[in-house]
Structure 1
Amino acid sequence: MALTLNVLLLLLLLVLGANTGSGGQPAPTDIPEHLHYELPSVTYETPDSHVPGPIAGLFHMVHGFVHVVQPQEFPEDIIRKIIQKNFEPSADFNKVAYYEIGVIVCAVLGLLFIVLMPVVGFFFCLCRCCNKCGGEMHQRQKESGPFRRKCFSGSLLVISVIISVGILFGFLASFHMRDWIQRTQSLADSNLKDFQKLLGGAPKQINYILAQFNTTKDKAFSDLDNINNLLGSKIHNRLATKVTPVLDDIKVTVAAIKVTKEALEGMNSSVQSLRQGSQDLHNSLTSVKNDIQGALGGDECRAGPAVQTCNDIRASLDQLEGTPGLDQLPSVDTELQNIGNISTSNLDGLVNLGYAFLDSVPEEVKNQTEGVVQDIKNVLNGISVDIRSVAEYPITATLSNFTGYINDTETYIRRNLPKLEEYNAYWWLASLIICFLLALIVVFCFLGLLCGICGFDKHATPTSRGCVSNTGGIFLMVAAGLSFLFCWLLMIIVVLTFVIGVNMEKLVCEPYTNGKLFQVLDTPYLLNKEWEYYLSGIVLKNPNVKLTFEQVYSDCKNDKGIYTTLKLENYFNVSEELNIQKHTGNIINELENLNLNLDNVVLLDAERRKNLQAFATSGIQDIDYNTYLAQTDKTPVKVNLLLFARDLEAKVNHLPPGNMKDTLQAQVENIRRTHHQQVLPMEQSLSNLKKNVRILQSTSSGLKEKMDKILISLDAAQSFVSNNISSIIVEETKKYGKIILGHFERYLQWVKDAITEKMLSCKPVATALDSAVDVVLCGYVVHPLNLFWFGIGQATVLLLPTIIFAVKLAKYYRRMNSEDVYDDVEILPMKNMENGNNGYHKDHLYGVHNPVMTSASRY
């Protein structure tokens, strides 16, 4: 047991004995535009667990039997005393005996079997030679004879089948042990390859970490070169939220001033045109009326039918009058002069300067930060040296030591593995011999049963049985003899393998699986009286750090890196070495020294304010637009001149020819000419006047309030720019610095996580330990060994009833030398035969009937 624990401890220390190690764990981020890191993973060949296949059910069955025989808990105190060499047989014998009571009882029973079976066999042979113990070749016939024969046959058959099952268990156990141990070389090679992958993957992981630094640095350089967008645009956007709406309002105001000026000019032109047109139209219409009245005053209108027509024409002349008031429309010269005095060019300049200032911020930021950006790049270039030293230390030295351990282990395995295979061949041969001996006994039993059952003739007397039946009885006696001859030898092997297998299962395999073996090894001051924690004393040179075998095995099993597993922060603190402040302090200082000059920005001065105020007090809001709109809804003449001319022409056509008719025809044309030359232009002027009035009415609505609001917004924007531009630059610079530093913070955090969590994953260590203990020792050896003694032991124990039933049954199959005979009339009942009433014995040599049983020859 002590040897086993020492081997286990040596194996664990062998694979964990390197002084330090590092690892890495990818810490990808889902934040857009951020870099993603993924440490190259290593795929190992060795499976995590051993799957025995269908035979696993037999192993569980044997394990249940072992638990019944040995139900005691793992004796941690005894094991600790043995390791510390404090075990005293006299004082601790009772504890050991109590723990091993089940094994001891079974072993004692086995020893009794070993001792008694040869003795019993010896005396049984002597007894048989003396024609005792069934050695007499005479079979007494009894009424229950057929029933007893069938019972003996059935019992022997069942026992033989059970023995065959036990032999099969033993053979399968030996076969699997032989087959699995032959795989030990490939399993060892697989574990060694995993270690080589582990060692070979470490430089690749280091190179990947360093390569990701270059990627991170390139991303940072790209952001530095793009400072005009990342920083300048941010400042631009912060200012634009306050300034752009005001500039847009001013731009709209400038456009409104221009539209207002154009509308006033159009309105004034329309008013002047209407005044002049109204006077001209009045004069034209008066002249037409006078000429028509003059023509109607002639003699042609006093006679005949022309009188009525002339009267109708004379009555319609009142319609030829212009609309009153058009010549009285007020002028807007004052308002036009006020608007004309406003310098829209100055306001346009205000807007253009504001927009130009905002648009120039990104480029101005880039121009003013060229020197600082270059200094930051120089600082970032220097970080790569620190990263390389952290990533490589102390991996380089560790790998060389670890490689030495691996090479020594590989040499040891290749040197000693052939011996294991040689011992396995011996065991395979021995197990075949054992199974053969048991199989030989079972074969004789089956042959005896086969021949006996097939050759048995119920009408034949014991002395006249056939050859086949007699051969069956001989086979059964041979089986009994072989059982006496070999059962005690087989039991010796069963007892030895039982004691070894049960203790290995309970003291190594089971505590290894449930972790109690590690708990024993983790007992303070157990392996070294001066060290509280042995593993930390070996690895970290500090036995006070709580580093346990159980924790190391669990972490390795969970694929953690050696740094975390072995608590190497007590040896080399990666967190301190990868502190972002340590590596980026200069970057922060450089960013803090980033001094952007965007001052002296004036959005509003006195002259521009005066122009805006002048527009608000230009008087356009005081114009009586309703007066103008009322006139624009009227026509220049009370009647439609074209309709009047057509009606007049129709009337003139009824007049007789003459000078009056010709004169009136000329006036019709004159009226039409007046409509086209004077009325239509006046209607266009009225339309233009209405449109301009609507524009001015809309523009002037709430003009003062709008301008006051714009002026307030201008003051607020100017105050915001003047008072906050410095703080905006500082805030956005800090945010920009966080973007630059954020790349390295995430990178350094990933490097720290990679080194501490995943890089140099010690999973092959746990796998190798599982392969050595759980797979090879327990799975390949102990479990098949337990199944072997279980099957062979079961078969060997059942040889005892086999002997009994075989000897009893042989009497019914073998040909006897003498037999019981009775009167020819009838055979008396068995009870009378047993009482000796009317029984006769037939002597085959003489054939004499005798009422009294006589002796016959016996063998």
Structure 2
Amino acid sequence: MGPSVEAVPETLLSLGGLVADVPQELQALARQFSLPQQRVLEELDGVGVSLGSTLHSQLRSTVHPALASVLSLGHALQVSVDHLQALNATSVGLQERQDDLRPAVGAHRDHLLALLQEPGCRGCADALGMAGALELGADFSQLPPVADVLLRLKGAPEANFSRMVREENSTFNNLPLLAALQTADVVRELQKAVARQPEELRTLARAFPGSEAASRWSQALGEAARGSRPYLREAQRYERYRWIAGCVLCSALLLVVACNLLGLGLGTWGLATREDPSHAEPRAEAGARLLMAGAGLGFLLAAPLVLLVLAAFLLGGNVQTLVCRGWARGELYEFADTPGNLPASLNLSHLLGLRKNVSVRLAYQQCREGAALWRVLQLNDSYDLERHLDISQYTAKLRQELRRLQVDVRDLDLLSPAARRDLEALRRSGLEQVPYADFLAQIRKPVVTVDVETLAQELEGLARAQGNVALGLQLQEAARALRSLYRERVLPQQGLVAKLNLSVQALASTAPGLQVETSEVLGRVTYLKGDLPARAASILRNESECLLAREMGYFSQYVAWVREEVTQHIATCQPLSGALDNGRVLLCDMLADPWNATWLCLAWCALLLVPSVVFAVKAAKYFRPVRKRLSSTSSEETQLFTIPRVTALTL
């Protein structure tokens, strides 16, 4: 009975607390609105940087290639201008040197022809042919002029493309910070709007119509719990008496069993060791006395035990039949619903302060099915939960503020005015129209048609082969003069030709594509200048909608959670039906069933005491000496033992 006694007030108090806590829990649910608020406020703290980062990541694939092409084009412009200037300077230098080189080559040719044609010159035929061919190969006066192209590119490049691209990259990479600065005021207004709690949630608990009924029900359950405690203390006191009586009764029954078992054991042992049946054996005598003691104690316990079984049967049987069986079948709830069976003060509708009568049986069934409390108590018409969860005005304010988020990217020029002028000059320069083929045609020709070094070596050989010493000396002097001409005039001219070739090759390979690339870059930059603000506005609009959807998702999730908590957990009466079922378990399963099991066991004990007494009396006489069981008539058997005659049989 101990657990049952302790569970009664706890069950009543838990029910009272369950009902009384509904308004407080509704208030707690309303206060939980701070969780989505805090989540939204945290996200709003970095919304400017987030928007800027999104802009940067989505525009990066457009801006970075454009800036890279501008930088590459600026570098190509610088290289082209350098090559064009080198080409012009080299052409002028070649023409000037050619004017000085032509008479010198002619003078050497005429002098060599005169020497080699002298009659005494030995083996001079080959050298004479080479000397006759000694003349200029390339005519650099035929090189086309590039002064007009240089004039169009005068002052280019005016802009520092590398620094400009670095600055534009820095501006673009600082877009998150720029967005944070530009949206700071709007974000502050948004945070103020988010920090306000909707008025509908403030009235969620105050407008709950069951608050007064819940208070009355909680008060009734609390009074019942407090009123039950004196009776429960008495029950605990009687429980102690029950333990004492049970221990005494069980000890007495065990004593009867112990006497019988010990008597049987000693008696049997005595009979087994006794040689003469007429002699008294102490162990057999002790066994007989123990059996008689057990029989006497059983006779004394039989009557009280029967009376105890009768009283326990009447109480336990009636509780099982009238209460427990009807409670399990629901008949007890029908009895409570029948008018007049219970006082008006115990009516469920009166206890809850409801206008409509509520069937206890129907309420119990609905509560077991997990129905909502206001459905069981018919409160749906008097409490509109959805109206208190409607935060559309709150979210409309947030939507209005979010649409004000704007980021201005017009500072991102991609191309400065000076750089634009440079590229326009490059596009109009006509660099691709220069006749580079004419340059290459003259470059492919040698500066001098004859290899001067070879001719000088030939002259030195002829000088050693001559018999005429004076002619030999003249040939050696002519060879030295040729080498001097080669070092001082031909080699520098060849160096200029190589330099000219480098510039011509570079310009010829890049000029056609450079013009196309310049036009494309200018067109792309011009397009992006007008397109970037529109794309940025579109990206911001999409991001704002995504942000709004995410924030509204937090609030929608909160509203759905509150609706579920109110309708399925807080405002459900399933714990009430569970409490009734627990009460039936306490009374019937934990009290009545053990009580009935107890009197049934006692009944079996009382029933078995009668044959126990008869058996003990019958068994005891067999453990006494045989002489005490003989009659007064003589027989052959008694005469053999010369047993005195007795007049009565002692039991």
- C-alpha distance in structure 2 between counterparts of 1:433 and 1:299, whole Å: 163
**3-state SS of 1:472 partner:** helix
Q: Tell me the residue number matched to 1:387.
A: 201
- C-alpha distance in structure 1 between counterparts of 2:198 and 2:436, whole Å: 78
1:809 to 619, 622, 634: 619
- C-alpha distance in structure 1 between counterparts of 2:454 and 2:319, whole Å: 132
> How much has 1:270 moved relative to structure 2?
1.5
Q: Tell me the residue number matched to 1:575.
A: 386
> How much has 1:694 moved relative to structure 2?
1.8
Cα-to-partner distance string for 1:56-109 (whole Å, 9 max, x where unaligned): xxxxxxxxxxxxxxxxxxxxxxxxxxxxxxxxxxxxxxxxxxxxxxxxxxxxxx
> How much has 1:245 moved relative to structure 2?
3.3
Work out whether 1:270 is the aligned partner of 2:87: yes
Contact 1:480 1:807 in 2 (8 A): yes
**3-state SS of 2:337 partner:** coil
Cα-to-partner distance string for 1:110-140 (whole Å, 9 max, x where unaligned): xxxxxxxxxxxxxxxxxxxxxxxxxxxxxxx
Work out whether 1:494 is the aligned partner of 2:290: no
- C-alpha distance in structure 2 between counterparts of 1:522 and 1:614, whole Å: 102
Any residues of structure 2 matched to 1:273-312 within 5 Å, and which?
A: 273-274=90-91, 277=94, 280-281=97-98, 284=101, 287-288=104-105, 290-291=107-108, 294-295=111-112, 297-298=114-115, 303=120, 307-308=122-123, 311=125
Contact 2:436 2:504 in 1 (8 A): no
- C-alpha distance in structure 1 between counterparts of 2:195 and 2:395, whole Å: 11
- C-alpha distance in structure 1 between counterparts of 2:310 and 2:448, whole Å: 142
Structure 1 pair 652–755 and aligned structure 2 pair: CA distance change class (3 A): farther
Partner amino acid for 1:577? H
Contact 1:473 1:814 in 2 (8 A): yes
Structure 1 pair 342–759 and aligned structure 2 pair: CA distance change class (3 A): farther
Q: Tell me the residue number matched to 2:649.
A: 858
- C-alpha distance in structure 1 between counterparts of 2:248 and 2:216, whole Å: 48
> How much has 1:782 moved relative to structure 2?
3.5
Work out whether 1:479 is the aligned partner of 2:479: no
**3-state SS of 1:842 partner:** helix
Q: Tell me the residue number matched to 1:454.
A: 269
1:681 to 492, 496, 503: 496
> How much has 1:267 moved relative to structure 2?
3.8
Any residues of structure 2 matched to 1:202-351 within 5 Å, and which?
A: 212-214=32-34, 216-217=36-37, 220=40, 228-229=48-49, 240=59, 245=62, 249=66, 252=69, 256=73, 259-260=76-77, 263=80, 266-267=83-84, 269-270=86-87, 273-274=90-91, 277=94, 280-281=97-98, 284=101, 287-288=104-105, 290-291=107-108, 294-295=111-112, 297-298=114-115, 303=120, 307-308=122-123, 311=125, 313-317=127-131, 323-324=137-138, 327-331=141-145
Q: Tell me the residue number matched to 1:427.
A: 242
Structure 1 pair 698–499 and aligned structure 2 pair: CA distance change class (3 A): farther
Contact 2:138 2:442 in 1 (8 A): no
Structure 1 pair 218–684 and aligned structure 2 pair: CA distance change class (3 A): same
Contact 2:90 2:499 in 1 (8 A): no
**3-state SS of 2:514 partner:** helix
Q: Tell me the residue number matched to 1:798.
A: 608
Any residues of structure 2 matched to 1:79-98 within 5 Å, and which?
A: none
Any residues of structure 2 matched to 1:683-832 within 5 Å, and which?
A: 683-700=498-515, 703=516, 707=519, 733-758=544-569, 772-774=583-585, 776-778=586-588, 780-816=590-626, 817-819=628-630
Structure 1 pair 840–284 and aligned structure 2 pair: CA distance change class (3 A): same
> How much has 1:444 moved relative to structure 2?
1.5
Structure 1 pair 709–662 and aligned structure 2 pair: CA distance change class (3 A): closer
> How much has 1:445 moved relative to structure 2?
0.2
Cα-to-partner distance string for 1:290-345 (whole Å, 9 max, x where unaligned): 32651563499765xx734x555444447755554765444456666677799998
1:666 to 481, 484, 490: 481
> How much has 1:576 moved relative to structure 2?
2.0
Any residues of structure 2 matched to 1:580-659 within 5 Å, and which?
A: 580-588=391-399, 594=404, 636=447, 658-659=473-474
Cα-to-partner distance string for 1:341-398 (whole Å, 9 max, x where unaligned): 99998x99x999999899999969976995x767666654553554333246559867
Structure 1 pair 621–387 and aligned structure 2 pair: CA distance change class (3 A): same
- C-alpha distance in structure 2 between counterparts of 1:289 and 1:433, whole Å: 156
Partner amino acid for 2:230? R
Partner amino acid for 2:498? E
Structure 1 pair 393–628 and aligned structure 2 pair: CA distance change class (3 A): farther
Cα-to-partner distance string for 1:452-498 (whole Å, 9 max, x where unaligned): 02211466454434232133123323433443443353244335435
> How much has 1:443 moved relative to structure 2?
1.6
Partner amino acid for 1:266? H
Contact 2:66 2:524 in 1 (8 A): no
Contact 1:444 1:475 in 2 (8 A): yes
- C-alpha distance in structure 2 between counterparts of 1:503 and 1:408, whole Å: 28
Q: Tell me the residue number matched to 1:526.
A: 337
- C-alpha distance in structure 2 between counterparts of 1:320 and 1:530, whole Å: 147
Contact 1:636 1:683 in 2 (8 A): no
Alignment size in residue pairs: 632
- C-alpha distance in structure 1 between counterparts of 2:321 and 2:142, whole Å: 126
Deviates more, 1:453-462 or 1:402-411: 402-411
Q: Tell me the residue number matched to 1:44.
A: none
Structure 1 pair 588–685 and aligned structure 2 pair: CA distance change class (3 A): closer
Partner amino acid for 1:548? A
Any residues of structure 2 matched to 1:68-147 within 5 Å, and which?
A: none
**3-state SS of 1:687 partner:** helix
Q: Which blocks of at least 5 consecutive residues in structure 1 are unaligned?
A: 1-176, 824-838, 849-853
RMSD: 5.9
Cα-to-partner distance string for 1:13-52 (whole Å, 9 max, x where unaligned): xxxxxxxxxxxxxxxxxxxxxxxxxxxxxxxxxxxxxxxx
Partner amino acid for 2:587? L
Q: Tell me the residue number matched to 2:363.
A: 548
**3-state SS of 1:796 partner:** helix
> How much has 1:277 moved relative to structure 2?
1.3
Partner amino acid for 2:492? Q
